Amino acid sequence: MTIDTITKKEFSDMIRVAAHRLEKNAKFVNSLNVFPVPDGDTGTNMSLTVQSGFKSVNESEADTVGRLGKALAKGLLMGARGNSGVITSQLFRGFSKSIEAKDDLTAADLAKAFDDGVKTAYKAVMKPVEGTILTVAKYGANSAMDATKSSEDVAVIMQAAVKGAKVGLAKTPSLLPVLKEVGVVDSGGQGLVFIYEGFLEALTGEVSSESEEYTPDEGEMDEMVNATHHQSVQGQFTNEDIKNGYCTEMMVELGQNPTSDETFDNDTMRDYLDTIGDSLIVVSDDEVVKVHVHTNYPRKVWEEGRKFGSLVKVKIDNMRIQHETIVDGDETAPAATAVATKSSEPVDYAVIAVSSGEGLSDLYKSLGVTNIISGGQTMNPSTNDIVDAINSSNAKRAIVLPNNGNIVMAAKQAAGLVDIPVAIVPTKTISQGMTAMLSFNPEADIDENQENMEDSLDTVKSGQVTQAIRNTSIDGLEITKGHFMGIVDGKIEVDDKDIVKTTEEMLDKMIDEDSEVITILVGKDGNDQDAQTISDYLSDKYEDLETEIHQGDQPVYPYLVAVE
Amino acid sequence: MAITINTKHGQIDISNSTVSSIVGGAASDIYGIVGMASKNQLRDGMNTILNREDFSRGVVIHQEDDKLAVDVYIIVGYGIKISEVAKNLKEKVKYNLETMLGTPAGTVNVYVQGIKVLDDIK
């Protein structure tokens, strides 16, 4: 089959597949990184750069390939990271300049764009170092240009570019001594080959080279779904703009059950759903298929899923009513997801807290937190999740409460990756986060807030009650599997088989003459009756203390307490 | 001022121009830097791009609490993420100084003295 033009759709597919291919192989690229500084981050940097390009393409409303190329170049420029990322952004700056007036691309346009990209990239450096991405791009472009003499099929041109790039990559060790020394090909060059292979894969549907087929994992499926949804919701300001009113998602576990009567095929399902909606994503692996579609017929979507297995999760939002969830299936999000309220008006402050459990989220919101990233003890959100939350908050400045010692670093990294001022208040527990919120002043500037919030952390002691999962001995304390542990500010202080007793003993250790208020947050595995028992115990024993009980719904910890 | 490294066999003095060359060499490896600029714009004129042998005029070396502090004056190509280029340069300068001289660089300050518009391909 000949493909003679690249339209807007193919172009954005190319970028998407390339971004995923690179991301999937980022670790491998990292492992090759020896030039200019051998710090093993080339793959990560390039991948983040290309992700940023894809995001920009994905959110673009461009109606021609040329304008889409412009969006790509802008995204790459904004997101460029590391030497490799800067070169990549410059390559595609030249590429997009070359195609900016085109509606669609022919084979000749594509080859010329590669060539122009290389020319632009070679100009922006004092002394072009051969044996790097530049070399690989040059070989790829030359090979693509040669191919235009004999073919007008864009897939053939892309194939030639991949082939040429691989030849260039194989030459890198002989051009750059440091590579030969280590016995590797150039990492950035390898990254570019992955990008080109992704382009080819998008055009032909075949995976080039010996790598296994790409199947997105759960988290990636979610990201794709969110990105597509975001893209189509953006820019629709009035209800009249919305053609397909229901944002419909489902997850189907493929396989035998009373209703599954057909063998699943990704393309067949996609083709059918394409006829009843837009913003369509169908991603699948051997076990599950995830679907996101905007349609006026949600029932048809679910009926389609039902044919191939059992529906494990369905969700429908009426987009004409601001995000009102009507049905929401099980709540186990496979990855940390940011619940963001995208307002069209930029807000002044975003306060972002990491927390899990609906009750805690509500409590945080009542204290003035604007965005919750769900996560915490058992699933730490990544730097990227935090960056996304900051970016989607649409705020001029942001304060982040990690609420967990393991997330503080990720939050600090995220702060460096966004364009607005961000303050990280290093809260290690849920209780500290809440105390910090009491010192938050929306009128104050960000530094002042950070200082005040950080200072307030000394005034609270955090206690956590949870069940021991194995026998151990820590800090001279014997811990028995199945018993409950009382943890005060990260240190295990109490071990007892009775949960109420554990909590009471722990509180006794926390309370001193300065204590005034005690807050008990009841988790998923805690209950109100026990919480009341604990509260009564406290009021009997300590006269002047105030005790508050709140529903936190947090997992893992039946009770969280704060002593202030 | 020069850098002095004391070893048990005696001392090694490394001249500023040597350090400047090392720093300049680092800059030429970094993508997006189209030249070194003179730190002394009044004397050398605005945004003069220095030749390789004059790199030392675009680098200032001074001592800061027993550590080496380096100021680098660069010119960047138009349409490139300047902040990232500067960051890459800092990393490379630190890495070069540590591997070639064995002296940890304390601070590396990057001054972007100008942007050169590279004629785009038409």
pLDDT at A457: 86
Domain A243-318, architecture per CATH: 2-Layer Sandwich (3.30)
Q: Which of A35, A86, A127 sits opposite B32 (nearest CB)?
A: A86
Tell me: domain A337-459, CATH 3.40.50.510, correct? Answer: yes
Task: Give the pairing type, strands B33-36 and B67-77.
Answer: antiparallel
pLDDT at A217: 44
A136 touches chain B (CB under 8 A): no
pLDDT at B47: 54
Long-range contacts of A21-28 (CB under 8 A, 24+ apart): A21/A194, A21/A195, A21/A197, A21/A198, A21/A201, A21/A214, A22/A46, A22/A47, A22/A50, A22/A191, A22/A194, A22/A195, A22/A198, A23/A47, A23/A50, A23/A51, A23/A220, A24/A214, A25/A191, A25/A194, A25/A211, A28/A190
pLDDT at A512: 86
**Residue stretches of chain A with pLDDT short of 50:** 208-220, 223-224, 226-240, 322-344
DSSP 3-state of A333: coil
Looking at this protein, which amino acid is placed at residue A161? Answer: A
pLDDT tens digits for range A498-508 = 999 999 999 98
pLDDT at B122: 42
pLDDT at A553: 84
Question: Could you tell me the fold of the domain covering A461-563?
Answer: Hypothetical Protein Tm841; Chain: A;domain 3 (3.30.1180)
Contact B80, B41 (CB under 8 A): no
Looking at this protein, which amino acid is placed at residue A105? Answer: L
Q: Where are the domains of chain B?
A: 3-116
Q: Which of A37, A83, A97 sits opposite B31 (nearest CB)?
A: A83
A78 touches chain B (CB under 8 A): yes
| CATH number belonging to domain B3-116 | 3.30.70.1350
Cis-peptide into A442, omega within 30 deg: no
pLDDT at A93: 92
Interchain contact, A94 vs B121, CB within 8 Å: yes
Contact residues on chain B for A125, CB-CB shorter than 8 A: 28, 30-34, 77
CA dist., res. A296 & res. A276, Å (int): 8
CA dist., res. A357 & res. A364, Å (int): 11
Interchain contact, A124 vs B34, CB within 8 Å: yes
CA dist., res. A468 & res. B113, Å (int): 60
pLDDT at A238: 42
Q: What's chain B's average pLDDT?
A: 78
Q: Which residues contact B91 (CB under 8 A, 6 or more apart)?
A: A37, A39
pLDDT tens digits for range A387-425 = 888 888 888 889 999 888 778 887 888 888 888 889 999
A93 touches chain B (CB under 8 A): yes
Substitution target from A45, A83, A112, A179 for chain B, most B beta carbons within 10 A: A83
Interchain contact, B34 vs A86, CB within 8 Å: no
B33 touches chain A (CB under 8 A): yes
- CA nearest A93 in B: which residue? B79
The mean pLDDT of B69-78, rounded to a whole number, is 88
pLDDT at A35: 73
Interchain contact, B79 vs A37, CB within 8 Å: no
Looking at this protein, which amino acid is placed at residue A175? Answer: L
A432 touches chain B (CB under 8 A): no
Percent of chain B with pLDDT strictly greater than 70: 78
- Work out the minimum CA distance from B30 to partner chain A, whole angstroms: 7
Q: Where are the domains of chain A?
A: 8-224, 243-318, 337-459, 461-563
Q: Which of A86, A93, A97 sits opposite B88 (nearest CB)?
A: A86
CA dist., res. A98 & res. A110, Å (int): 9
Q: Is A19 left (phi over 0), alpha (psi -120 to 50) or beta?
A: alpha
Looking at this protein, which amino acid is placed at residue A368? Answer: G
pLDDT at A546: 84
A125 touches chain B (CB under 8 A): yes
Interchain contact, B29 vs A36, CB within 8 Å: yes
A421 touches chain B (CB under 8 A): no
pLDDT at B56: 67
Closest CA to B67 of B85, B86, B87, B94: B94
pLDDT at A331: 34
Model-wide pTM > 0.85: no
| CATH number belonging to domain A8-224 | 1.25.40.340
CB pairs under 8 A between A and B: 77
CA dist., res. A513 & res. A542, Å (int): 10
pLDDT at A143: 95
Contact A7, A104 (CB under 8 A): yes
- The conformation of residue A128, written as its DSSP 8-state character, comes to P
